[in-house]
Amino acid sequence: MSYLDEGHTIKSWLTSTDHKRIAILYAISISVFFFVGGAAATLIRLELATPAGDLVSHDTYNRLFTAHGVIMVWLFLIPSIPSVFGNFLLPLMIGAKDLAFPRLNLLSWYLYVAGGVLVLCALAAGGVDTGWTFYTPYSTMFSNGYVVLTLFGVFVTGFSSILTGLNFIVTVHHLRMPGMGWFRLPLFIWAIYATSLILVLATPVLAMTTLLLVAERLWHIGVFDPALGGDPILFQHLFWFYSHPAVYIMVLPAMGVASEIIPCFARQRIFGYRFMAYAILGIASIGFLVWGHHMFVSGQSMAASMVFSLLSFLVAIPSAIKVFNWTATLYKGSLRFEAPMLYALGFVGLFMIGGLTGLFLASLALDVHLTDTYFVVSHFHYIMVGGTVMAYFGALHFWWPKVTGKLVPDLWARIAAVLIFLGFNFTFFPQYLLGVAGMPRRYHQYPPQFQVLHLLSSAGAVVLAIGYLLPLFYLAWSLRYGQRASANPWDARGLEWETSSPPPTHNFTHPPQLPERVYDYDPTSPRAVAQ
């Protein structure tokens, strides 16, 4: 009996400690937030179609981009791949029955939902206008938005992050099946493991920063406000100490997904497995040391800026190793271009562009010109949307048969993948040009000479939106009418494919067979497609 048949009542879902069901709870809730955040983005792009501020007031505009940022960062991207696919796959991939602490896992989901609801309440009450970065002293002394309520929501979801990370770390250490050494772990597990370390070590700093911010806002005591004797730079240090590593919370799991999909559709062992694992750990650890690159124009000392600049360049090395190794995995493979592969390849390309433009920003002199322009906006969207969201969709299509037991209509899935890739570039590439030309971020009106590029960007957003909406329909369709999936429809390696689709409640009816080596693909033997 599959885990889906374990009970059909709402209660059987809301009280389940099965990691697979909790993964689905996450998938549903983050999708809701994805569409709320997306609605805000739509309004932003509509406003920016013309130079005049004619659709919304500047105040509403500020609230829109703040809502968009807060929701997308904390309620979608941070939990996306780890909480959905990490939850579903981690025990399956290591041959375990569940996570180490199943009830804690359910608690994490409730905390996440509670935090999300608090943020939505703040939004319904009127929203916040500080930007997702909550820079002080604006956020503490001047903003008239619901800063405290929103931050409280972020604070609560933080505990969900910490507990999820803790659960994953302990699971990887203790529940690997006999014989599964560290260097037999799929790279997805390595990525989830490194991400968990960041979740556990960075999130508490954000929690305390919000506490200090709220204290200053409520009691007007100068922690961060210079007029009261505080120091805004302290806030920026604390905030970015969390928020830079947080960008790796978003992108490392995406790298893990690409490392699963690419070998499968290239029928080739992943190139440089150990280097890939070390690169993941390298990115996670150096990622803790580069936060000051967000503060080049804040007045921090030149010596500090130079060190942060150098360290930021260092992060690029393990990131580049990964891109090279994915590419090398394709070399002489027998490639197939089904939907998951299209998403994975899209991920690699867009991540590369995002990473390279990160190097532009990490160069001190250049950053003075580019900081707070659309160049930065484009940089991080290339990585967070082009990278993480792309990989999230890749994972969705790759593991959908495993999760639901149904095949995805591949033609539709490919159409959506292509639309998303084109729509994405169409939306965000013009923003690089806007940034270089000097268009600042976070304004609702602009000089007319920027209109052509803004209009292109808004038009691209329409294509992108269609691309994102399509899966909603064909995935729902496949649930009802889709072809039944076999245990291993992609002829993929990895223990999750050894059990039925969908898996039984305890994951494996008999202990899975541990393969000789990880990613044991052979490009010379044709793919067995047993559907």
Non-local CB neighbours of 90 within 8 Å, separated by 6+ positions: 19, 96, 99, 168, 171, 172, 189, 192
The least distance separating Cu ion from the CB of residue 353, rounded to whole angstroms, comes to 17
The least distance separating ligand HEM from the CB of residue 458, rounded to whole angstroms, comes to 21
The correct pick among 99, 156, 249, 461 for binding other proteins (CB under 8 A) is 99
Asked whether position 293 contacts ligand HEM by CB under 6 A, the answer is yes
Toward ligand HEM, which CB reaches closer, 191 or 403? 191
* Chain position carrying tokens 């805000």: 40
The least distance separating ligand HEM from the CB of residue 410, rounded to whole angstroms, comes to 29
The least distance separating ligand HEM from the CB of residue 105, rounded to whole angstroms, comes to 25
Phi-psi domain of 131 (left: phi exceeds 0; alpha: psi -120 through 50; beta: other)? left
Asked whether position 467 contacts other proteins by CB under 8 A, the answer is no
Q: Which of residues 364-403 bind ligand HEM (CB under 6 A)?
A: 367, 370-371, 376, 379-380, 383-384
The least distance separating other proteins from the CB of residue 377, rounded to whole angstroms, comes to 28
The least distance separating other proteins from the CB of residue 170, rounded to whole angstroms, comes to 5
Toward Cu ion, which CB reaches closer, 242 or 400? 242
Q: Which of residues 500-519 bind other proteins (CB under 8 A)?
A: 506
| DSSP letter string, 269-289 | PPTTHHHHHHHHHHHHHHGGG
Q: What is d(CA 421, CA 418) in angstroms, rounded to the nearest whole number? A: 5
Q: Which of 314, 140, 290, 302 is nearest to 210 (CA)?
A: 140
Q: Give the C-alpha distances (Å, rounded to integers) separating 265 from 92, 272, 330.
A: 21, 17, 9
Toward ligand HEM, which CB reaches closer, 293 or 454? 293
The least distance separating other proteins from the CB of residue 279, rounded to whole angstroms, comes to 23
Q: Which stretch binds other proteins (CB under 8 A): 33-41, 63-71, 81-89, 90-98?
A: 90-98
Q: Give the C-alpha distances (Å, rounded to integers) separating 464 from 49, 427, 461.
A: 16, 8, 5
The correct pick among 316, 335, 437, 514 for binding ligand HEM (CB under 6 A) is 316
Q: Which stretch binds other proteins (CB under 8 A): 2-10, 173-181, 406-414, 461-469?
A: 173-181
Q: Are 492 and 528 in contact (CB under 8 A)?
A: no
Asked whether position 173 contacts other proteins by CB under 8 A, the answer is yes
Toward other proteins, which CB reaches closer, 203 or 404? 203
The correct pick among 46, 149, 170, 415 for binding other proteins (CB under 8 A) is 170
Q: Are 143 and 181 in contact (CB under 8 A)?
A: no
Instruction: List the Cα angle 283/284/289 in 5-degree steps.
Output: 85
Give the number of other CB atoms < 10 A from CB of residue 223.
Answer: 21
Q: Which of residues 58-87 bind ligand HEM (CB under 6 A)?
A: none
Non-local CB neighbours of 510 within 8 Å, separated by 6+ positions: none
Toward other proteins, which CB reaches closer, 204 or 504? 204
| DSSP letter string, 44-111 | HHHHTTSSS--SS-HHHHHHHHHHHHHIIIIIIITTIIIIIIIHHHHHHHTT-SS-S-HHHHHHHHHH
Q: Which stretch binds other proteins (CB under 8 A): 194-202, 247-255, 369-377, 411-419?
A: 194-202
Q: Which of 496, 504, 502, 499 is nearest to 482 (CA)?
A: 502
Binding at 469: pick from ligand HEM, other proteins, Cu ion, none (beta carbon under 5-8 Å per type): none
The correct pick among 43, 201, 422, 514 for binding other proteins (CB under 8 A) is 201
The least distance separating other proteins from the CB of residue 250, rounded to whole angstroms, comes to 19
Report which secondary-structure segment, H or E, holds 380. Answer: helix 374-381
Site string for ligand HEM, 472-491 (x = CB under 6 A): --------------------
Non-local CB neighbours of 155 within 8 Å, separated by 6+ positions: 115, 207, 210, 211
The least distance separating other proteins from the CB of residue 186, rounded to whole angstroms, comes to 19
Strand partners, 484: 406
Asked whether position 250 contacts ligand HEM by CB under 6 A, the answer is yes
Q: Which stretch binds ligand HEM (CB under 6 A): 109-117, 311-319, 477-485, 494-502?
A: 311-319
Asked whether position 169 contacts other proteins by CB under 8 A, the answer is yes
The least distance separating Cu ion from the CB of residue 441, rounded to whole angstroms, comes to 15
| Chain contacts with Cu ion (rule: CB under 5 A) | 244
Asked whether position 208 contacts other proteins by CB under 8 A, the answer is yes
What does the block give as tokens for 340? 């998951």
DSSP state of 140: I
Report which secondary-structure segment, H or E, holds 304. Answer: helix 302-330
Q: What is d(CA 162, CA 168) in angstroms, rounded to the nearest whole number? A: 10
User: For other proteins, how many residues bind (rule: CB under 8 A)?
Assistant: 41
Residue type, 329: T
Q: Is the dihedral of CA 62, 65, 69, 71 positive or negative?
A: positive
Measured in whole angstroms, the distance separating CA 157 from the mean position of its chain's CA atoms is 15
Q: Which stretch binds other proteins (CB under 8 A): 101-109, 119-127, 141-149, 294-302?
A: 101-109
User: For ligand HEM, how many residues bind (rule: CB under 6 A)?
Assistant: 23
Q: Return the SS3 of 19.
A: helix
The correct pick among 315, 395, 419, 439 for binding ligand HEM (CB under 6 A) is 315
Give the number of other CB atoms < 10 A from CB of residue 177.
Answer: 15
Q: Which residues bind ligand HEM (CB under 6 A)?
A: 133, 247, 250-251, 293-294, 312, 315-316, 319, 355, 358-359, 361-362, 367, 370-371, 376, 379-380, 383-384
Q: Which residues bind other proteins (CB under 8 A)?
A: 91, 96-103, 162, 165-167, 169-170, 173-175, 200-205, 207-209, 211-212, 215, 219, 221-223, 229-231, 234, 238, 241, 506
